[in-house]
Amino acid sequence: MLTLLGVAVVVVGFVARIHPLLVVAAAAIVTSLSVGMSPIQAISALGKAFNDNRYVSLVWLILPVIGLLERSGLQERARALVARVKTATTGRLLLAYFMIRQLSAALGLTSLGGHAQMVRPLIAPMAEGAAENRYGPLPDRTRWLIRASAAAADNVALFFGEDIFLAISSILLIKGFLEQNGILVEPLQVSIWAIPTAVLALLIHGTRLLLLDRRLRRELARVSHAAHAAHEDAGDARE
């Protein structure tokens, strides 16, 4: 039962809103000590886990860098960059990112994109900048719609693109599950049959992204008309 003390540390730490990294590290050390490890052994085990999973730990090293870049004006530069491209629209920009994200995931490069390192600091601000360039200041509702669409583009592209890469864990999971049920398949077969699904995902979600431009144009025109009408009513009331 003492080994469950680590779980208690996690629960208490999250309830108290302590930094998650500190909570997880403290839980790991408490669990190690509860099974009879010395403090040096516990810290050594943490270091070994960090080294063995350094490709995961690298994410935690990238996030502070992204934060510093945002503080230095990364999002503002992204908006200014897309404002120079007159033909850029929100839907076209997100569709271009979707295609790049899906292709890179199909090649096994799943870390090239992502919400924290790509969507939030670059793609979403650029999509908002494209809309602002055409329609002017955006209401909050529209900003949240664009940000949600940027996040969805990343999710869908990665989900249906990564299965084309035959060395991805999802392919191996499918292969193992089928073998348990007496169906023998090679990873290459599963990978090839993932291609039609990825193409359909591109066509369907790409259409949704292009229709996003029409939706933005319609909604923002309605907002602009309502604001203009309210301005005229205010002028009549003053007269």
112/68: higher pLDDT: 112
Q: Is the pLDDT of residue 205 over 80?
A: yes
pLDDT at residue 154, rounded to an integer: 95
pLDDT at residue 91, rounded to an integer: 93
pLDDT digits (tens, 9 = 90+) for 135-189: 888 888 899 999 999 999 999 999 999 888 877 777 777 788 888 888 888 888 8
Closest to 165 (Cα-Cα) out of 102, 77, 82, 87:
102
pLDDT at residue 209, rounded to an integer: 94
- What is the C-alpha to C-alpha distance for residues 170 and 162, in angstroms, rounded to an integer? 8
Helix (H, G, I), strand (E, B) or coil at 108: coil
Look at the pTM and tell me if it is higher than 0.75.
no
Block residue for tokens 């077969």: 189
pLDDT digits (tens, 9 = 90+) for 1-36: 666 787 888 888 888 888 777 787 888 888 888 888
Q: Phi/psi of residue 186, each to 5°?
A: -95, 150
| Residue 47 banded pLDDT, cuts 50, 70, 90 | confident
The four Cα atoms 99, 102, 104, 106 give a dihedral, to 10 degrees, of: -140
| Residue 210 banded pLDDT, cuts 50, 70, 90 | very high
pLDDT at residue 55, rounded to an integer: 47
Chain centroid to Cα 192, Å, comes to 26
Token pair belonging to 120: 């939030």
Token pair belonging to 93: 């920009």
How far is the first Cα of the chain from the last one, in angstroms, to the nearest whole number?
Answer: 79
pLDDT at residue 4, rounded to an integer: 74
- What is the C-alpha to C-alpha distance for residues 65 and 60, in angstroms, rounded to an integer? 9
- What is the C-alpha to C-alpha distance for residues 34 and 52, in angstroms, rounded to an integer? 23
- CA angle 122–126–132, rounded 5-degree value: 150
pLDDT digits (tens, 9 = 90+) for 49-102: 666 555 444 555 565 666 666 676 767 777 777 777 778 899 999 999 999 999
Helix pair 54-71, 74-83: axis angle to 10 deg: 70
57/221: higher pLDDT: 221
What Rg, from alpha-carbon coordinates, does the chain have? 24
pLDDT at residue 196, rounded to an integer: 94
62 contacts 109 by C-beta, under 8 angstroms = no
Block residue for tokens 């602002």: 132
| Residue 230 banded pLDDT, cuts 50, 70, 90 | low
